[in-house]
Amino acid sequence: MILLQVVVSGLLMGAVYALFSSGLTLIWGMMNVVNFAHGDFVMLAMYAAFFAYTLLHLGPAVFIPGAALLLFVLGVVVYLGLVRHIARGPMLAQILGTFGLALVLRYAAFWAFSANFVSLPDTLVGGTFELGGLRIEASRLLGGVLALVITIGMHLVLTRTMLGSRVLAVAEDRQAAMLMGIRPDRMQALAWGVGAASTGIAGALIALFFYISPTVGESLALIAFVVVCLGGFGSVPGALIAGLAIGVIQALSAYLIGAVYQDVVVFALFLLVLWIRPQGLMGTL
Amino acid sequence: MLLEARDLTKVFGGFRAVGGASLDVAEGEIVGLIGPNGAGKSTFFNCLAGDNPPTTGTIRFRGQDVTKATPEAHARAGMARTFQVPVTFEDMSVAENVMVGAFLRHGHRAAARRVAEEVLAFTGLDHLADTRAGSLGTPGRKRLEIARALATEPVMLLLDEALAGLTPAEVRLAIELVRRIQQRGITIVIVEHIMEVILSLAERAVVFHQGRVIAEGAPRDVVDNPEVVAAYLGHHMKRVRRG
Amino acid sequence: MKQWPLVLLGFVVIAAWPLLTSDVFLQRLGALVLLSAISASAWNLLGGYAGQVSVGHSVYFGAGAYASLVCFTHFGWPPIAGAPVGMLVSMLIAAVVGTPTFRLRGHYFSMATIAAAELARILAANVPLLGAAVGLMGPPVPRSAWDLSFISPIPYHYLFLAVLTLLLALTWQMQRSKMGFYLAAIRGGDRAARSLGVPVLRYKLYALLLSAAFTSLAGSLYAVMIGFVDPDSGLGILISVKMVIVAALGGAGTLFGPLVGAIILIPLEETTNAMFGGSGTGVTFIIYGAIIVLIARFRPGGVADLWHSLITRGRRGAARGA
Ligand SMILES: Nc1ncnc2c1ncn2[C@@H]1O[C@H](COP(=O)(O)OP(=O)(O)OP(=O)(O)O)[C@@H](O)[C@H]1O
Ligand SMILES: [Mg+2]
């Protein structure tokens, strides 16, 4: 029974991982650029949610879309101002560019919000209830389910709509897409916006049940990288499966070995997989 | 035979890029490999050079089985190649690019430098020796790739469309260069779309179509082969006729 | 190299530095610049020359720092005696971790190095032998000259200068030899390099082993001077990031790039730390971040690149004048 409880909470967390990893995978698969500031995007969204609640007394129904909008704008701005210029440059420049951005965001948050941990009240969404013998926090349930729905929605938009197929066409072959009259720059800006917006939603959802601090993005980013590598670059379904798997593995190792080792298990597993299959679990690269 | 490739196939996912192609090359020959776009010529080259081992089949080079050997082992054994899309080391100068090749057989800087200078003079690149490779245009890069390959002192040279994108005058110079390379005793396999090149250089032409060899023989005869003509459509056909 | 007089002048200034001033802050600054130049130059062997951007070099730095203080804490050795131990351990880790990761390309490689470093940090924070979260201390008072425990920064300055000189001499030699050409070819592209007979994996490993050994030495020197290491100061991700930034600012893959980067960044860091006190680290990293964003956006080649274009422009100007 306890094991089931652990697995369920792992799945709920995993759905949120899947959501913010889909943003990363979209960008990565699309233009082969890694956003090292991805975790710090999550952190910003968490603070946005926190201040929306504490200063403006806005509820989740407002601050979740609000965070999405804010991050959409940030994503587009970062693309136009920085990423567009470094995307086809040397590897080192790509890494430095987004890593530098990560440092600026992280330590600006340190400066502005102090290093203290803050959190939203537990009771903001429901509290805890029992379901068939399982104790589930309403905030985590909301987070997990909403994340799942949005991730699947993103996949459907990408694969079933005109706009989605244009985005994928640019990812597939920039030149060919241009010949078909698609403007790659716009599509890539859009992908950055959407990727960041999904990260924004994920951040606001995590804020409902997780502590918030300037460095929280660091460990979340590593998780996202693991999820993307395992799920295959550019694959939203891959991110979904890998995200859920990582959530469960973390929860199980925290329960069986101890909470400090949950990330050790994840990273060790990640390295192991990379060594056995350098192209990722589901990747074809 | 210097090179014997038997029944090579290369499958990508479910797609057969090369399906049972064989090729024998004797020492000192120039063999031309032709075929429409997507016929599998480059893929076949990559198999021969160890860049991407074949799914099935065997390759023997100078009597050794090299089917699964790495590209660096091929280079050491005396097989050099150029790429269809040139990949020069852009941050290095032209001379330094060539020295990388020369270091394969000469461990010392001074010796490698000497070999590089000799190759640069031979390929007519000596006046560009100190230019950054990244600032060369496509013709320069293609020539640099040939020079770099020659610096490894190969027995056999695989040229993948080394003359594509050149002006007619540059093509004539390149043809003359390939001849001089052959005179040095280096065996050459050349992929080329320009018929003029194959007709004037190759002693034997091999035609690829959909991953298979559909014709083989003297370039003149091969060009008139109805099956070959059928394989080329549209503008390719015209090019063949004109040749 | 036509810039020998300049190099010589630079060397003389650096060598004379601590004697030119009696301000301990400035003397200490000199030593810290050299230490940072050592670790960034060590990173440069792999990240700059071979183009394999590691963001996990804190593993080797930490191995060196921890080796020194573990040898002191558990065996009573002078901390510097732990340096060769750290170098050996680092090379071992490099061989075990490096061989499989080198098959990974580009971002995958960087990602794997980060994961490995993070793994090491979490483990160190939970192993009592390594002082767990509290960390390890060096000798509180020097027991003999071998403890290399001095109040004045001057002895450290010359120790670090000697190591840096050795490292740069070695790098210079390497750069001109077959290995230097092969690493540059690897940076230019694996596929083309292999077609010319470059055994890519083997040379990447050589570069990594050399790089790991000297990064580890930098870690040991750090531990000897500071006399303390904990998971964050020895194995934190910022340690790795700083090596990358310092080298990239000066010019990755150039001989003096990392030294130039350290001369620019370390005084900046120490000054902001002194100015803003505890919150200084935050400001430092905002500035660091902004600097590398700007480099990436406008000058991926770093200061070295700027220097070259200035020189060529100067030459062209002179030629026109003549
Ligand atoms: N790595 C790969 N993965 C999947 N398919 C590939 C790969 N490389 C080549 N192909 C496919 O194999 C077929 C043969 O390609 P190849 O490049 O060998 O043709 P080619 O004869 O050299 O053509 P061209 O004259 O245009 O250079 C093409 O349809 C190509 O799309
Ligand atoms: Mg081809």
With an 8 Å Cβ cutoff, are C292 and A102 in contact?
no
User: In this prediction, does ipTM exceed 0.85?
Assistant: yes
The stretch A57-77 carries a mean pLDDT of 92
Any idea which residue has 């399982």 for tokens?
A: A134
Q: Nearest C-alpha of chain C: how many angstroms from B240?
A: 32
Q: What confidence score (pLDDT) does residue B99 get?
A: 97
The average pLDDT across C82-105 equals: 87
Say if residues A106 and A115 touch (Cβ distance below 8 Å). Answer: no
Kindly list the residues from chain B whose CB atom is less than 8 angstroms away from the CB atom of residue C253. 91
Domain count, chain A: 1
Give the confidence band of C169 by pLDDT, cuts at 50, 70, 90: very high
Phi and psi (nearest 5°) for B92?
-95, 160
Question: What pLDDT digit, counting tens, does each position of A39-57 carry?
Answer: 999 999 999 999 999 998 8
Nearest-angstrom CA–CA distance, A183 and A186: 6
What average pLDDT does chain B have?
Answer: 89
Nearest CA to ligand 1 atom 11: B17
Q: Whose CA is nearest to atom 8 of ligand 1?
A: B43
Tokens of B20: 């049972």
Q: Which residue has the higher pLDDT, C254 or A23?
A: C254
Measured CA to CA in angstroms, residue A88 lies from A20, A82, A84, A233, C297 at distances of 25, 12, 8, 18, 11
Sketch the domain layout of chain B as residue ranges.
3-78+155-242, 87-153
Does residue A211 belong to any structural domain of this protein? Answer: yes
Is A282 inside a domain boundary? no
Structural domain span for residue A79:
2-276
User: How large is the average pLDDT for residues B110-117?
Assistant: 96
Report the pLDDT value the prediction gives residue A284, as an integer from 0 to 100. Answer: 45
For A135-157, the pLDDT digits (tens) are 788 888 888 888 888 888 888 88
In a domain, A78, yes or no: yes
DSSP A79: I
CA dihedral C203, C207, C209, C214 (to 10 degrees): 170
Domain B3-78+155-242 has CATH 1.10.1060.10: no
What's the CA-to-centroid distance between B191 and ligand 2, angstroms?
8
Structure confidence by residue, pLDDT tens digits, C256-270: 999 999 999 999 888
Query: Is residue A184 assigned to a domain?
Result: yes
Q: For the ranges B225-229, C11-15, C53-57, C82-86, which has the lowest average pLDDT?
A: B225-229
Taking CB atoms and an 8 Å cutoff, what residues of chain A touch C252? 92
Phi, psi (rounded to 5 degrees) for B159: -110, 115
- Which tens digits make up the pLDDT trace of C255-311? 999 999 999 999 988 888 888 776 666 788 888 889 889 888 888 777 788 887 777
Helices (H), chain B: 41-48, 71-77, 94-102, 109-122, 138-151, 168-183, 195-201, 219-224, 226-231, 235-242
The chain C residue lying nearest B77, using CA atoms, is C197
Q: Is the pLDDT of residue C63 over 90?
A: yes
Residue C298 has what pLDDT?
Answer: 86
Residue A241 sits in a domain whose CATH number is 1.10.3470
**Average pLDDT of the segment spanning A179-188:** 82
**Residue C147 pLDDT:** 80
% of chain A surpassing 70 pLDDT? 97
What does chain C come to in residues? 322
CA distance C228 to chain A (A): 24
For position A285, what pLDDT does the model report?
A: 38
User: With an 8 Å Cβ cutoff, are B100 and C176 in contact?
Assistant: no
Which residues of A are less than 8 Å from C51 in CB distance? 91-92
| Nearest alpha carbon to residue A224 among A5, A12, A36 | A36
Protein residues with C-beta less than 5 angstroms from the ion ligand 2: B 42, 84
Pocket test for ligand 1, best of B9, B11, B42 (most atoms within 8 A of CB): B42
